[in-house]
Amino acid sequence: MSKNRIIPLSEIGEIITGNTPKTSDTENYESNDIPFLKPSDFSTDNIDLFDTEFYISEKARNKARVLPVGSIVVTCIGIIGKTKITQKECAFNQQINAIIPFNGNNNRYIAYAISFQKELLQTKANAAVVPIINKTEFSKISIPLPPLETQRKIASNLDKVTHTIDLCNAILEKLDLLVKSRFVEMFGTGEHKLHKLKDVCAKITDGEHGTVERFETGRLYLMARNITADNQIDLSEVSYISDEDHNRIYARCNPEYGDLLLVCVGATIGKMALVPQMESFSMARSVALIKPNKTCLNSIFLMASMQSQNVQVQIKNSIHSSAQGGLYTKSIQNLSIPLPPLELQQQFAAFIEQTDKSKSAVKQVLEKAETLKRALMQEYFG
Per-residue confidence band for 307, with pLDDT thresholds at 50, 70 and 90: very high
pLDDT at 121: 86
Distances (CA, A) of 222 to 123, 226, 257, 316: 32, 6, 15, 23
DSSP 8-class letter at 63: G
pLDDT at 79: 85
pLDDT over 70 (residue 2): no
- Rounded mean pLDDT of 126-145? 85
pLDDT at 126: 67
Mean pLDDT of the chain: 94
**Alpha-carbon gap, residue 301 to 307, rounded angstroms:** 10
pLDDT over 60 (residue 184): yes
Asked if 161 and 373 touch (Cβ cutoff 8 Å), the reply is yes
- Which among 258, 250, 257, 237 has a CA at the least distance from the CA of 281? 250
Per DSSP, the three-state class of 326 is strand
Backbone dihedral region of 270: left (phi > 0), alpha (psi from -120 to 50 degrees) or beta? left
pLDDT over 60 (residue 172): yes
> Which position has the higher pLDDT, 321 or 266?
266
- Which among 92, 91, 73, 93 has a CA at the least distance from the CA of 83? 73
> Which position has the higher pLDDT, 89 or 103?
89
Distances (CA, A) of 181 to 44, 48, 309, 334, 352: 23, 29, 12, 25, 12
pLDDT at 366: 97
- Residue pLDDT, tens place only, 218-258: 999 999 999 999 899 999 999 999 999 999 999 999 999 99
**Alpha-carbon gap, residue 83 to 79, rounded angstroms:** 11
Per-residue confidence band for 322, with pLDDT thresholds at 50, 70 and 90: low
- Rounded mean pLDDT of 344-360? 96
Per DSSP, the three-state class of 37 is strand
CA 101, 105, 106, 111 torsion: positive or negative?
negative
- Which among 235, 289, 283 has a CA at the least distance from the CA of 260? 289
**Alpha-carbon gap, residue 192 to 336, rounded angstroms:** 12
Per-residue confidence band for 125, with pLDDT thresholds at 50, 70 and 90: confident
> Which position has the higher pLDDT, 120 or 351?
351
- Which among 167, 45, 137, 150 has a CA at the least distance from the CA of 379? 150
Out of 182-186, 237-241, 300-304, 324-328, least confident range: 324-328
- Upper half-sphere CA count for residue 27 (Cβ side, 13 Å): 7
Distances (CA, A) of 175 to 171, 182, 318, 347, 362: 6, 10, 29, 17, 10
Enumerate helices (H) and strands (E) in the chain, giving the number of each: 10, 20
Per-residue confidence band for 132, with pLDDT thresholds at 50, 70 and 90: confident
CA 246, 252, 257, 258 torsion: positive or negative?
negative
pTM here?
Answer: 0.82
- Which among 26, 90, 40 has a CA at the least distance from the CA of 61? 90
Percentage of the chain beyond pLDDT 90 is 87
Asked if 88 and 35 touch (Cβ cutoff 8 Å), the reply is yes
- Rounded mean pLDDT of 358-377? 97
Distances (CA, A) of 241 to 179, 215, 238, 257, 265: 38, 6, 10, 21, 21
- Rounded mean pLDDT of 11-36? 95
Asked if 53 and 127 touch (Cβ cutoff 8 Å), the reply is no
Burial bucket for residue 56 (CB in 10 Å: 0-12, 13-18, 19+): buried
- Upper half-sphere CA count for residue 382 (Cβ side, 13 Å): 7
- Residue pLDDT, tens place only, 43-88: 887 899 999 999 999 999 999 999 999 999 999 988 899 999 999 9
**Alpha-carbon gap, residue 379 to 382, rounded angstroms:** 6
